[in-house]
Structure 1
Amino acid sequence: MPMPSAAGSASTAFAGRPTLPISYVRDFLAGLPIDAPTLHGMLHLATISPTLLAQRHGRVTEEQFAELFRSVALHMDDEMPGLYARPLRCGTLKVLSILMLDAPTLQVAIKRWMQFNRVLDDGSVFTLHRDEREAVIRIDAYPRQARSARLVQELHMKLVHGLCSWIIGARIELERIDFGFARPDDAADYLFMFPGPARFGQPVTAMVFDPKYLDRPVRRRSGLELRDLLHRAPLDWLFDLAPVSRTPL
């Protein structure tokens, strides 16, 4: 497979599709224990030119980033590469998904995830709070030794949002998402991943949504649907590409 040119490869092949800034790719790769030849092979598989990494305004498609993420995860045997206190071994998300799919409602499924998270003891803690007006999923702790505090919080929130949306078969629209860190320079280029207004420099990282979503029944999924989600990961939970409904509450 020929490598794409460094300039404009993403925008040319996928005109009109959302793309990520190359700075996000650099941040994702920074600090990973991967040697240069192995990384070059991963970039080739994702059809990302190595010279693109050095460009200031380069961009990649969702599919390219997901392919690179997947290659890194398989190489490191870590489904959230280098972001938690210990590796999230390959197969962990499958076990988690099976556990959640057996729940009657989304709220029960999330509580099962929280219990599962305690068993993993990966240095991250998130909690669910609900009242009549809003539901809040909040990151209460994350590994302080994480190679990127920004990435671990953003990707953890996307994993929670994407998997919960898939579980109920409907995209969860956010009233807002708060980030407990300063606004990155390239934030405007990737915030499309979060379906709601974003605020930076907040006390904690949290997503806020209508509490009625928590009462939604868990959609019964076939083994084939689960296999497709895991095979395509992180594409569907990161970019909301899985077929879900947009019906109102």
Structure 2
Amino acid sequence: MSSSPLRGSSRAATPMAFVRAIVRGYERYGMDPAGALAEAQIPPHEIENPNARVTAAQFETLSGHAMQELDDEALGWFSRRLPWGTYGMLCRASNASPDLGVAIKRWCRHHRLLTEDITLDLDVADGLATLTITEHRDLGVFREFCLVSSLRFLHGYACWAIDSRVSLSAASFPFEAPPHRDAYPLMFGGELRFGADRARYSFDERYLAMPLLRDERALRTMLRRALPLTVLQYRRDRLLGQRVRELLRTRGPEAGNAESIAALLNLSTRTLHRQLQEEGMSLQTLKDEVRHELAAEQLRRTERPIKQIALAVGFRNEKSFSRAFRAWSGLTPGAFRRRDL
């Protein structure tokens, strides 16, 4: 199996630099890439054009052909081949795990059995899970494509395994921003940093507790394609509702409307509403829940005037706040406060 750097699209967005990396793999093995390029309908004269792009479908075709023809799913990156079926084996070794955290740890551990050129490690701290790649030899001309693809392989597997988008909060890379840096937000999302010490990305640690939802039959179906893990779009984020609640609680002034919340989550407003609807909730419902929670906390724990609390949780006046609070709890704010004394 293989991986496309970009999600499936008819738009030509995959950098030609990644096509060149596959051609370099052919050169390493002394083989001719002409057949693979022809099958993918990529003109050879475009390969050295730094501004050229190909579609995800073209890249899928090229990668699948090259991995089988070279019998190397790493496409020449490592000091030894990863024969066709290697990444499928990694998926199988991870897929019997009880949750995503165990699956990722197994992936990292088994990857070390395949090559010593890089190692993958998962660390959890301060609510974030971070996947880091450590390089143990000079990857040369393959470096960018190897690091990007290795991160994407595991991210794609994680999304597939739990049938959910795993939204990244940040990603960093140990090289300067390439000419095609505009492709990186499509590949990773979150805050991007170049010139870092290592390649890594981070995401909410709560994804790690999610159970794997794919069985052996689903795995066989997925592995029939050359690019099963990163071309598929996972529009649903099973943690989206929780992430919106946290933004409303902790970044209220910045999260005043759907547009600002969507921007903070690197989503379109339309996607935000659709995904919340798929989870059986709405943005207004979440706003009301958070307002209720914050108001109840302040009524219980502080002696602030009700008018100040109303303004603090986003109401224009005490009257509208009292009406809403009574609808939420069956009590007026004053009665709620007296009850808890």
Alpha-carbon deviations, 1:50-90, whole Å to 9, x = none?
Answer: 23324443221001011101111101111121112221111
> Where do residues 22-171 of structure 1 align in structure 2 (5 Å cutoff)?
22-33=16-27, 38-171=32-165
CA distance in 1 between counterparts of 2:220 and 2:233 reads 12
Task: Provide the aligned C-alpha RMSD in A.
Answer: 2.2
1:117-165 CA-partner distances (Å, limit 9, x unpaired): 2322342211111124211111123442454221211111111111111
Once the two structures are TM-superposed, the CA of residue 112 in structure 1 deviates from its matched residue by 1.1
For 1:58 and 1:144, locate their aligned partners in 2 and report how far apart those are by CA, in whole Å. 27
TM-score by length of 2: 0.62
1:237 aligns with 2:232: no
2:97–2:212 CA contact under 8 A, matched in 1: yes
Among all aligned residue pairs of Structure 1 and Structure 2, give the percentage whose two residues are the same amino acid.
29
Partner SS for 2:229: helix
The structure carrying a bigger helix percent of its residues is: 2
Q: Distance in 1 between matches of 2:182 and 2:214?
A: 36
Q: How far did 1:41 drift?
A: 1.3
**What is the distance in 1 between the residues matched to 2:116 and 2:64?**
20
Pick closer, same or farther for the CA change 1:121–1:42 going to 2, 3 Å: closer
For the structure 1 residues 98 and 192, does the alpha-carbon distance in structure 2 shift closer, same or farther, using more than 3 Å as the test?
A: same
The letter of the residue matching 2:226 is A
The residue identity in structure 1 corresponding to 2:73 is E
Larger relative CO (CA 8 A, sep 6+): 1 or 2? 1
Distance 1:220 1:57, change over 3 A: closer
What are structure 1's unaligned runs of at least 5 residues? Answer: 1-12
The alignment partner of 1:109 has SS state of helix
Cα pair distance change 1:31/1:164, threshold 3 Å: same
**1:140-198 CA deviation, whole Å, 9 max, x = no partner?**
23442454221211111111111111111111100000111111111113441113221
The residue type paired with residue 229 of structure 2 is W
**For residue 203 of structure 2, what is the amino acid of its counterpart?**
F
What is the total number of aligned residue pairs between the two structures?
Answer: 231
CA contact (8 A) 2:18 2:145 kept: no
Structure 1 segments, 4+ long, off by >4 Å, are: none
Q: Secondary structure at the match of 2:82?
A: coil
Aligned ranges for residues 143-222 of structure 1 at < 5 Å?
143-222=137-216
The amino acid across from 1:75 in the alignment is: E
